[in-house]
A and B are shown apart, each in its own frame.
Chain A
Amino acid sequence: MKIGIVVEGSYPYVSGGVSSWVHMLMEQMPMHEFEIISIMPNPKSEADYRYTLPKNVTGVTTLALNQRATRKRRPEALSEAERERIKTWMTFGQVDSSIYPILENQIGTPEQFFSSRLFYQLVTESYQEEGQAGSFIDYFWMWRSMYAPVLDLLQAELPQVDLVHAASTGYAGLIASAMKERQNIPFLLTEHGIYSREREEELLQASWIPAEFRSHWIQFFHHISREAYRKADDVITLFERNGELQRQLGAPVEKLSIIPNGIDVTGLSALGHVPGADKLRIGAIVRVVPIKDIKTMIYAAKLLQDMLVPFELTIMGPLDEDKEYAAECEMLIRQLELERSVLMVGKVDIRQHLPEFDVCLLTSISEGQPLAVLEGMAAGVPWIVTDVGACAELVNGRPDEPFGPAGFVVPPVNPRRIAERCVWFHQHREDARRLGRNGQQRVETYYRTDQFIDAYLHLYEERRAVYGGHRV
């Protein structure tokens, strides 16, 4: 089967969670071929690859958002119903029949469409309906810049595949929806983070965009995400909390499912545990960046020190991704006189360190489904995690499973609660080992690579069968 993977701002040009996921998915499915459709803000070339592509990748189509479609199209006369449909869709409404063929073939090039009376009418009408009282030319250009990438993408040449799988909603979801319709193929959507929420947060912080335009952009991203949810055959995410968010954002509940990320547990589960002395050995497997909130971790260490608990905190992860933040953290460690108990060791092989930890710590203020927690659990180390993303689900387990908790969940940015939980671990060594074993069992049962691969393989076959077998 030939599978089209649609990613946005990610594989193979940017490394990160989604990229690793895509890479693993393809590597583990040598029986299928993959076409990568990578949407990037700017044109890219093979020299920019951050990954060595697996052999079963048959092609990479890179679509730059600021790149004009080259294909020439003549605008066709649109019927009143079609004009109405474009209007409804562009003002974030739902349309019954499909909008994609119209936007792909009938409206001419994006440039022609933006010069059309229809578009001008659309902009002036919504300006008035919204009671706008700001610069009209800016409003007009906001509309143009909102839909220019959409039309460019929809009119781009795309490969023929048997099934399309998007790694996010947004522009990737849009492309996948269009491909589904054009080629009559199944469309799977796996959302790692919740795209429209992420854009919303970004936009709310973008003070350079006038407030009256900001809500427009937010609505726009919600709109295209909702459209992807509607179009997808399956809306998959990694953990339940995100599934709930998708449902709230308009994903039909019957399409929702959860396929968690998996890890290779062999090796990890055999690592064992090296018992220590009285000192509590705490591990943190994190990149030193603000979103991981290393400072809260350091403040918690300070509290532990004040409580006269003997401990050692080892922070393992690259220091060079945000050098300024790393320097701030080092400064904080010195200021709080923690140099001897808090160590920032940089990027190291965690397999050598995991057996020596009594507990692992994650203080992020935002997460998806962190692989570090899975790896720690696989090695039998109990966790203290903040209540973000999938952390609670990983540590406490899903409601219907038999294994007990693998540690504690604390609110984000709360050094006192973290310190209290560390004290517990210091005082309850045997119970701690039991928590660690719970985690190990959970990972071995539910979070293995082969399970996640099997789940997708199964889904691919099942969907493909519904749409009538292989064709490409």
Chain B
Amino acid sequence: MAGIGFKLQQLFQEDYFSSRIKAYAFAGLVTSGPWLIVIVTIALMQWLTSYLSIATLEERTTFNLIVSYSFIFSQVVLGVQQLVVTRYLADCFYEKRYEDIFPAFIGMMKTTVAIASLLFAIFLTFSELPALLNALAFVLFMTVNLIWVHFLFLSAAKFYQAVAYSFVAGGIVSVAAVIITDQFLMQYLTESYMKSFALTASMTLGLVVTLFGLFTSMLLTFPNRSTVGQFSFYRYFDRYPALFWTSFLYNIGIWVGTWIIWFAEGGSVHLDTFRYHPIYDTAIFLSYLTIIPTMTIFVVSVETRFYERYRVFYGYVNEGGTYQQIQRSKAAMLLVLRQELQRLFRNQGLVSLLFILFAAVLFPLLGLSPEIRDVFQMTTIGAFSNAMVLVLTLVLLYFEDHRGAAYTSALFITMNAGLTFLLLPLGPDSYGLSFAIGCTIAFAFSLIRLIRYVSEIDYHTFSRNETPPRTDTFRRVGDWLNDRSA
């Protein structure tokens, strides 16, 4: 008789929520890692050269600015691909498509070189540096860019040891070379710019050592080195546009206020090339140093207490737990999340507060001016909120709230850019205020978003809508590039 009956479509075969539990567990490291390295390196170099060098202030400034620019803008370049590639790699590991990883590595390097070259070309249009220094800056810039690519892949492969060794080795070489150059070579370098060139070259040497170490580790980690489908990961730009926006906007958002202030009152131009703001730059670098505790605590707490509960929750969701089990494990997970976030907030709050309070005592000891101290106190509040924004963004990504993460980044960059502009008329005394307010607004937003989202995390998990990508552009570009490189 008529009747086609019914089908329990896909009910018992598929793993509906292929929750990439560990997908973003290393995203924290990947996101905060390069940023912290940037900050520490720049701060260390400034301190080192100011303490040791017999080179003139101007030459030291040239060196510091080349290094700072390389690090800052490489971070922006990284932001284009960072989270998208992270997701792609997570899927490769999850689906055991290990053979696709090395091609993506090559592809990301090529893309990075292309974007970085473009940026450098723009730099060349206004650079007044001598050709030799431009060439060296190019080498340094590319080296740093490629280091981030290696860093991302090795972290994804959990080859942290290699990363650590490479950075330590490169760091030692850098510092040693800078010191040696400074101590023994400077007196023989009389030609103009040669002192800055020598310092920069020493630093670059160390970074090349790091890159070499990382590259060797890559080759060791991936013995099967196919080069087929290098640009296949481009389709993830179609699939997860929110991830692109999150890392791209966030990485720009960190620096956008700084860039604006470079052009404001108190900003300088070095060698007709480099914009910078001596007071603000120093203050913000120092402030970023104060949030190192957050990053450490966060990674540790996520890897231990929170991750346990997270796994139990998604286990019950995926493996057929009852509704009651899902609700109980959700409550347990959210309790731990709240505890960990509160602890982080308390600890980092305390550290930041102490720095703000004791800045008055510490700064004279470090030989820093009261102007820097005033800005520092405000940027430290901003850095605190900025650290929280980063942490909350990562937690949003753990729960696959890509949209929430992208909104946070968008708000972060808008607030920082907008407020910095708006508050410029208040003059140099209030630099840092916009950063403090902007980051805090983004922090508040991401916190509210997270609370609202996770309180319904079971709903979001069950109702995740894997819609087909809205665009097809990047996949086609990727295919075209794949064909060309085949």
Q: Which residues of A does B touch, CB under 8 Å?
A: 7-10, 16-18, 39-41, 65-66, 111-112, 114-117, 119-120, 124, 127-128, 132-142, 144-146, 148-149, 167-168, 170-172, 192-193, 195, 198-199, 202, 209, 213, 217, 221, 368
Q: How many residues of B contact A (CB 8 A)?
A: 29
Alpha-carbon distance between A111 and B4 when the two chains are bound, in angstroms:
23
* Contact between A141 and B459, CB atoms less than 8 A apart: no
* Contact between B465 and A135, CB atoms less than 8 A apart: no
* Contact between A217 and B6, CB atoms less than 8 A apart: yes
Interface window among B236-244, B319-327, B420-428: B319-327
Asked if A128 meets B16 with Cβ closer than 8 Å, knowing A18-B1, A168-B2, the reply is: no
List of A residues within 8 angstroms of B321 by Cβ = 135-137
Q: Residue B9 contacts which of A116, A138, A148 (CB distance < 8 angstroms)?
A: A148
Q: Residue A10 contacts which of B2, B5, B456 (CB distance < 8 angstroms)?
A: B2
Shortest distance from the beta carbon of B13 to any chain A beta carbon, whole Å: 11
Interfacial residues of chain B within 432-486, with CB under 8 A of chain A in the complex: 456, 459, 462-465, 467
* Contact between B4 and A137, CB atoms less than 8 A apart: no
Alpha-carbon distance between A18 and B1 when the two chains are bound, in angstroms:
7
B10 within 8 A of A: yes
* Contact between A209 and B323, CB atoms less than 8 A apart: no
Shortest distance from the beta carbon of B172 to any chain A beta carbon, whole Å: 53
* Contact between B7 and A136, CB atoms less than 8 A apart: no
Alpha-carbon distance between A49 and B215 when the two chains are bound, in angstroms:
63
Q: 7 nearest interchain CB pairs? A: A135-B320, A9-B4, A193-B1, A115-B463, A145-B9, A115-B465, A18-B2
Q: Residue A170 contacts which of B3, B12, B322, B326 (CB distance < 8 angstroms)?
A: B3
List of A residues within 8 angstroms of B220 by Cβ = none
Shortest distance from the beta carbon of B400 to any chain A beta carbon, whole Å: 13
List of A residues within 8 angstroms of B467 by Cβ = 111
* Contact between A117 and B320, CB atoms less than 8 A apart: no
* Contact between A145 and B2, CB atoms less than 8 A apart: no
* Contact between B1 and A114, CB atoms less than 8 A apart: no
Shortest distance from the beta carbon of B455 to any chain A beta carbon, whole Å: 12
B365 within 8 A of A: no
List of A residues within 8 angstroms of B12 by Cβ = 138
List of B residues within 8 angstroms of A124 by Cβ = 323
B11 within 8 A of A: yes
Q: Residue A137 contacts which of B3, B317, B464 (CB distance < 8 angstroms)?
A: B317
Asked if A66 meets B9 with Cβ closer than 8 Å, knowing A115-B465, A117-B459, A172-B2, the reply is: yes
* Contact between B465 and A112, CB atoms less than 8 A apart: yes
Alpha-carbon distance between A351 and B1 when the two chains are bound, in angstroms:
26
List of B residues within 8 angstroms of A7 by Cβ = 2
List of A residues within 8 angstroms of B320 by Cβ = 134-138
Alpha-carbon distance between A410 and B17 when the two chains are bound, in angstroms:
56
Alpha-carbon distance between A139 and B467 when the two chains are bound, in angstroms:
22
Asked if A140 meets B1 with Cβ closer than 8 Å, knowing A128-B323, A145-B7, the reply is: no
* Contact between A136 and B322, CB atoms less than 8 A apart: yes
* Contact between B459 and A120, CB atoms less than 8 A apart: yes
Asked if A136 meets B11 with Cβ closer than 8 Å, knowing A17-B1, A41-B4, A199-B5, the reply is: no
B268 within 8 A of A: no
* Contact between A142 and B2, CB atoms less than 8 A apart: no
* Contact between B2 and A167, CB atoms less than 8 A apart: yes
* Contact between A8 and B8, CB atoms less than 8 A apart: no
List of A residues within 8 angstroms of B16 by Cβ = 137, 141
Residue from the set A8, A133, A137 with the largest chain B CB neighbour count within 10 Å: A137
Residue from the set B2, B4, B326, B462 with the largest chain A CB neighbour count within 10 Å: B2
List of A residues within 8 angstroms of B459 by Cβ = 117, 120
Q: Kindly supply a per-residue 1/0 record for chain B positions 313-347, scoring 1 wherever the CB is within 8 Å of any chain A CB and 0 otherwise.
A: 00001101111011000000000000000000000
List of B residues within 8 angstroms of A141 by Cβ = 8-11, 16
Q: A7-B2, A136-B326, A213-B8 are in contact. List 7 more A-B contacts (CB 8 A).
A: A8-B3, A117-B456, A134-B320, A167-B2, A170-B3, A193-B3, A221-B6
* Contact between B7 and A193, CB atoms less than 8 A apart: no
Alpha-carbon distance between A374 and B293 when the two chains are bound, in angstroms:
90
Alpha-carbon distance between A141 and B317 when the two chains are bound, in angstroms:
12
* Contact between A65 and B1, CB atoms less than 8 A apart: no
Please name the residue on chain A nearest to B5 by beta carbon: A202
Show 27 A/B contacts (Cβ-Cβ < 8 Å), sorted by A: A7-B2, A9-B4, A10-B2, A39-B4, A65-B4, A111-B465, A111-B467, A114-B465, A116-B463, A117-B463, A127-B323, A128-B323, A132-B322, A135-B322, A136-B320, A136-B322, A137-B17, A138-B320, A139-B323, A140-B462, A141-B8, A145-B8, A145-B11, A168-B2, A193-B2, A199-B5, A209-B8
Please name the residue on chain A nearest to B323 by beta carbon: A136
Please name the residue on chain B nearest to A116 by beta carbon: B463
Q: Kindly supply a per-residue 1/0 record for chain B positions 1-44, scoring 1 wherever the CB is within 8 Å of any chain A CB and 0 otherwise.
A: 11111111111100011000000000000000000000000000
* Contact between B8 and A199, CB atoms less than 8 A apart: no
List of B residues within 8 angstroms of A146 by Cβ = 6
* Contact between A115 and B323, CB atoms less than 8 A apart: no
List of A residues within 8 angstroms of B318 by Cβ = 137
List of A residues within 8 angstroms of B4 by Cβ = 8-9, 39-41, 65, 171
Asked if A65 meets B465 with Cβ closer than 8 Å, knowing A141-B16, A198-B1, the reply is: no
